[in-house]
Structure 1
Amino acid sequence: MLYQVEDWDDAYANAAHIPGGNDYPARWEAEAAAFRKTARQENIDGGDLFLPENTAKGLAVFIHGGFWMKTGPAIWSHLAAGPVARGWAVLMPGYTLAPGARIAQMTRQVASVISDAAGRIAGPVALTGHSAGGHLAARMICDDGTLPGGVAARISACVPISPLADLRAMMRTAMNDVLAIDMAEARSESPALLTPCPDIPVTTWVGGAERPEFLRQARLLADIWAGLGAATDCVIDPGRHHYDVIEALTRPNSPLTCRLLG
């Protein structure tokens, strides 16, 4: 069957295609607030850092989504629960949202916050992020000096969840009225158009019930980077949609958390 997108805005619309989709933000805020009440948290410029009871085994990073235009780290705090229970510190970096910043600026901001946290927490660094955050997680391991060499050398895994890997598609949506992605930025900021750092295992993770474009983007990144020599996998999580595919990070022994932490 031929696949062709006829409505680019609908292709990336999630809430309209998820039962009760509009109820999820309030649920996330409540779960995040409940987690913060009992979590050990350290103040860090530009993000939230959650700590385990004992010396951290390493640093896990979750980068939030929202099409680079919405939300912030605080709404996703509960997703730190799984890695923290496994003894890892968890960083949730923030970044300036569009139209206040271009995507290239967000890339630099997130890299700076990760570098700061990596200076505080010893051991391996495991990267993940969701949707636009999946884009930024993949962008961190592109072989163009985005992260300092010492930090990049510590990355043990990168697991972009439902990533937006090729920004050229976003240029066709009404969101680009705010994002203002042009072809030059699409080429310089799309992980699928860049080369990954060597020796970092990459797993794209996407819900089986997601919009076809998110499935395509997840497969695209895994396939292209495999062709550039990276060890990649694309996991399609059966029955999961764009809003619940991330819930597995709240559980220490879920397949998603295990893939991230090894």
Structure 2
Amino acid sequence: MRVETVDLDDWPGRGLSDEELDVAYNVRRKAGPELFERHMGRYRAESARAVDGLPGHPGIVYDEASGERLDVWGAGGPDLRPAFVFLHGGYWMALSRHESSFMARALHGQGVATVVPDYTLAPEATLEEIVRQVRAAVAWVHRHGRGHGLDPDRIVVGGSSAGGHLTGMTMVGGWQAPLGLPEDVVKAAMPFSGLFDLRPLTRVYVNQVVGLDLPRAAALSPALLPAPRRCPAVIAVAEHDGAGFLAQSRRFAPHWDAAGPLVVPDRDHFDVVLDLADPGSAVFRALLALIGPRH
């Protein structure tokens, strides 16, 4: 991954103390243990309800090298459906596809299929390997989607938190051609509470697990990577998100030439993405607008 010329020692928040950076990026501490567990319970329960009885193809190995799997939900019928590929969060070291399909039923009702990949969690995998895997998941949808009711020419990627970062790493250029993919394989994107410049994380608790230095953090930062084609995108973030996540979304949206960011009122870092399960919500409507006509 090639990084545009940047000063590695000049990044947003560099002048903050380690404690101030932790406050900005430790959203689990901000939520507190009781609220955090309640949110995780909602992820699990709403995902289980969303896929109960829904047509699908769970547990498909999409990457032979790692053996990682994905689930396809809400496909079927005579017509190919647009694919919303959702990349879960968890600071690259937690959660799975099983807590991450809560939007599948609502999207199915609108003629859209949901694809939810797993990826190997840190520290078992490096962040470079995690990025490789999620790109391989997009490649799988493009190459094999037709056989599972997916339209390979209508792939939209989204994700929350660390998944927002991974979404950004599918938005940038330079990785598509080596995988034999068209540059516009990702037609649109919707990162939630994403991390687009990873340099601040080199001084945050999560780095004890992901182990980044400044050059690697820069090389894995969507805000610093070439993007010759800028796909349509909605950069979403919660009103009550961590200060670091709010700042990152506010910087990345104009960098990407996107309107926004879409700041969702009365939501925090963990529940904002659950609005994707609500057809009446602003984020659900924004996602459908990105996907475009379904028929």
Tell whether 2:270 aligns with 1:246: no
Q: Distance in 2 between matches of 1:146 and 1:5?
A: 37
Amino acid at match of 2:273: I
Determine whether 1:10 maps to 2:23.
Answer: yes
Q: State the partner residue of 2:172.
A: 142
RMSD of aligned C-alpha atoms?
2.0
User: In 2, are the aligned partners of 1:58 and 1:88 still within 8 Å (CA)?
Assistant: yes
| CA deviation after TM superposition for structure 1 residue 71, in Å | 0.6
Higher Cα radius of gyration: 2
In structure 2, give the amino acid aligned to 1:248: D
Match of 1:48 in 2: 71
Q: Is the 8 A contact 1:56 1:89 kept in 2?
A: no
SS in 1 for 2:103: helix
Which is further off, 167-176 or 78-87?
78-87
- Give the alignment partner of residue 183 of structure 1, picking from 214, 232, 244: 214
Residues 200, 232 of structure 1: alpha-carbon distance in 2 compared, 3 angstrom cutoff: farther
1:169 to 178, 190, 200: 200
TM-score, length basis structure 1: 0.90
Matched, 1:153 2:153: no
Question: Alignment partner for residue 116 of structure 1, among 124, 140, 154?
Answer: 140
TM-superposed CA distance for 1:154, in Å, is 4.0
In structure 2, the CA distance between the partners of 1:197 and 1:158, relative to structure 1 (3 Å rule), is farther
Displacement of 1:253 in angstroms is 4.5
Which letter does structure 2 place at the counterpart of 1:242? H
CA contact (8 A) 2:237 2:246 kept: yes
Q: Which runs of 5+ in 2 are unaligned?
A: 1-12, 62-68, 290-295
Q: Residue 101 of structure 2 contacts residue 114 of structure 2 at CA under 8 Å; is this kept in 1? A: no
What's 1:67 paired with?
91
Unaligned runs of at least 5 residues, structure 1: none
Offset at residue 207 of structure 1 (A): 0.5
- The Cα shift of 1:151 comes to 4.9
Mapped partners of 1:252, 1:259: distance in 2: 10
Cα distance, 1:60–1:210 mapped onto 2, change above 3 Å:
same
Q: Deviations over 1:223-253 (max 9, x none)?
A: 2223xxxx44311111211111011111234
Partner Cα distance (2:198, 2:245) in 1: 12
Match of 1:225 in 2: 256
2:126 is aligned with 1:102:
yes
Percentage of matched positions with identical amino acids? 29
TM-score by structure 2 length?
Answer: 0.80
3-state SS in 2 of match to 1:187: helix
